[in-house]
Structure 1
Amino acid sequence: MLLAKTLRFLQICRLNAKCPPTTAWATAPLCGATHRLYASSPIDMSFELFEGQTSDSSQAPLITMHGLFGSKQNWRGISKALAQRTNRKIYAVDARNHGESPHTTTHNSPSMSNDVRRFLEMRSYTKACLMGHSMGGRSMMLFAHKYPEMTERLIVVDISPIRVPRSTGEMQRIFDAMINLSLSPDLPLSEGRKLAQQQLLKATDSSETVQFIMLNLRKDPQTGAFSWACNAKLLSEFLPRFQDYRSHFASLPPYRGPTTFICGTQSPYMKREDWPQILEMFPNAEIHWLNAHHLVHFEQPQQFISIVTEFLNRPLSAS
């Protein structure tokens, strides 16, 4: 059942990449900078903007960041629904080293939170609502702690600030398979995808993870060369540093703004026993458990949209 759901999700992602959204949207210009290297300075993230017919520019927008190996296109359906139900502008962004955003020489939560700050300042937003899934959730949690004056409210999707469940060993094997993949430019895309899947399945027994990663495979229409949209080599180098996530909060006070966690009961990314520690970091937090795995927003989209809509529409005084 999970595999069928995941495959359907992947089909939707591919259709979204081809079909224009029904709401108004725009893609940030890349200006030829997709593969330009940066140090730790903020980058201009690629994005899509979704607006409903009655979007209120006076309200703080919602900025959504995906997880590892994801991209803004994975959030199109959710973003369209939220734009119609909340009357807010909804921005889905590509994190650095993912999607159509620049590849950089640094990848960690502090750098990605600074990218979000630049994104807001470039558009003269003094406050925003923030939502992040997995890796994106950790970036948004850190942003809220560093810049509480710019954070109206926070939504964290299936990730804990305390620890991560998956060993870096499995992830390292996946990255090694991606980095060492060698495909002839003479191969058609379908054959290249087949060989890439076979190679990745040697690194992990999760076919769902492999199918999700395969959304990153690209083939240059001019040269025929295959490549990954995500910066696999750089992400691999920074992978071990994500174990030190909590050290970023050492000198920061708790974020006391409205916060909601939406987690999957069948996902290992949030432990119920960690909740008391999480409340010390987010004293005004609540948690929702949905019958889902890690891709909570896909497996239970209607419940997810309802929870986020209610949270975003809730008067601040009642949060």
Structure 2
Amino acid sequence: MKLSYKLYPFQVNSENQKSIGDIIILHGLFGSSKNWVTVGKYLSNFGSVYTLDQRNHGESPHTNEHSIKLMSEDLEEFLSDHQIKEPILLGHSMGGLVAMYFDFTHPGFLKELIIQDIAPRSYPFAYDKEIQAMSFPLDGFSSRNGIDAEMAKYLPDTFIRQFLQMSLERMDSGEYRWKLNVAGLNQARRVFEDVFSEIVSSKTKTLFLIGGNSEYISKDDLDLIEKKFSNLLIKTIPGGGHYIHFTHQKEYLEILREDLSLIS
């Protein structure tokens, strides 16, 4: 599948500055490249940055098939089409699962793997409220405020509603639509199950960025991560949750700066 993407070209700030290579960013479930504008612009100080819309998200095509394996194959096709070799791959949540799967199935291909707040294991599809908040008909709504008020009946969390509404588009007709394939994602409820085998492991240079208060990472997950990745650095942002690239952006970018500054 041909994925939509946003490119942030390498920003040369000094004569002696060299690119560390291409950086690919994979968003999480219900996200898109729009969630990564600030991070993408910042990382372009190190190399050219591609923020991808994964299948059924953003401007990329919709399909009834949605799995970590297929998204990894989409990524492989993108890298081949753009002749990108030895990229740095950053993945958040669902994007992190795709990134780890790609690394496990393409040993030695990545220059570095950066995973945000997800572990290489199965996760339940615990997003009924999000699906319900995007499943009512949008006919007759003339404003985002009206849609938000209706969404709040299903999803009280204002932050998550605002996150979802980054995929809400007003068409030329004045009507609204979801760029997300809501029905397709609702049918893919096993997308996070049985992705990784017990025997896979990685020697790739790997950085895990974890929110200190995240519900997605347990102590057992930390033990699992240490077993799976032999060239590993784990950084925890105190007080952070699942969206530390947004809620704790200063600390998040500083960790990335320190890490990428060591790459030649």
Q: Under a length normalisation based on structure 2, what TM-score does the superposition of the two structures give?
A: 0.90
Deviation, structure 1 residue 263? 0.9
Say whether the 8 Å CA contact 1:98–1:229 is kept in structure 2: yes
Q: What per-residue deviation string (whole Å, max 9, x for no partner) do you get for residues 148-186 of structure 1?
A: 23211100011122344xx53x512421341233322xx
1:179 to 2:138 alignment: no
Deviation, structure 1 residue 60? 2.8
- Which residue does 2:37 correspond to in 1? 76
- Which residue does 1:285 correspond to in 2? 232
Question: Residue 256 and residue 304 in structure 1: after superposition, are their counterparts in 2 closer, same or farther (change >3 A)?
Answer: same
| Distance in 1 (alpha carbons) for counterparts of 2:66 and 2:18 | 34
**Structure showing greater relative contact order (alpha-carbon pairs closer than 8 Å, 6 or more residues apart):** 2
| Distance in 1 (alpha carbons) for counterparts of 2:186 and 2:212 | 28
Say whether the 8 Å CA contact 1:254–1:281 is kept in structure 2: yes
Give the residue type in structure 1 aligned to 2:73: N
| Distance in 2 (alpha carbons) for counterparts of 1:178 and 1:44 | 23
1:233 to 2:179 alignment: no
- Which residue does 1:214 correspond to in 2? 165
| Distance in 2 (alpha carbons) for counterparts of 1:138 and 1:197 | 30
Segments of 5+ residues of structure 1 without an aligned counterpart are: 1-41
Over the aligned positions, Cα root-mean-square deviation in angstroms equals: 2.1
| Distance in 1 (alpha carbons) for counterparts of 2:9 and 2:66 | 27
| Distance in 1 (alpha carbons) for counterparts of 2:174 and 2:129 | 26
1:144 to 2:103 alignment: yes
| Distance in 2 (alpha carbons) for counterparts of 1:91 and 1:46 | 6
Where 1:91 maps in the other structure, the secondary structure is strand
Deviation, structure 1 residue 65? 0.9
Q: What per-residue deviation string (whole Å, max 9, x for no partner) do you get for residues 103-149 of structure 1?
A: 12211111111111111111212211100111111111111111123
Deviation, structure 1 residue 76? 1.4
- Which residue does 1:309 correspond to in 2? 257
Q: What per-residue deviation string (whole Å, max 9, x for no partner) do you get for residues 235-270 of structure 1?
A: 111023323333xx35x6311111011011121111
Deviation, structure 1 residue 287? 0.9
- Which residue does 1:66 correspond to in 2? 27
Say whether the 8 Å CA contact 1:56–1:89 is kept in structure 2: no
Q: Under a length normalisation based on structure 1, what TM-score does the superposition of the two structures give?
A: 0.75
Where 1:245 maps in the other structure, the secondary structure is coil
| Distance in 2 (alpha carbons) for counterparts of 1:217 and 1:67 | 16
Give the residue type in structure 2 aligned to 1:234: G
Deviation, structure 1 residue 48? 2.4
How many residue pairs match? The answer is: 260
The 5 Å alignment of 1:157-176 reads 157-164=116-123, 168=125, 171-176=127-132
- Which residue does 2:245 correspond to in 1? 297
Where 2:193 maps in the other structure, the secondary structure is helix
Say whether the 8 Å CA contact 1:47–1:72 is kept in structure 2: yes
1:254 to 2:205 alignment: no
- Which residue does 2:147 correspond to in 1? 196
Q: Identity, % of aligned pairs? A: 28
The worse-fitting range, judged by mean Cα deviation, of 71-80 and 127-136 is 71-80
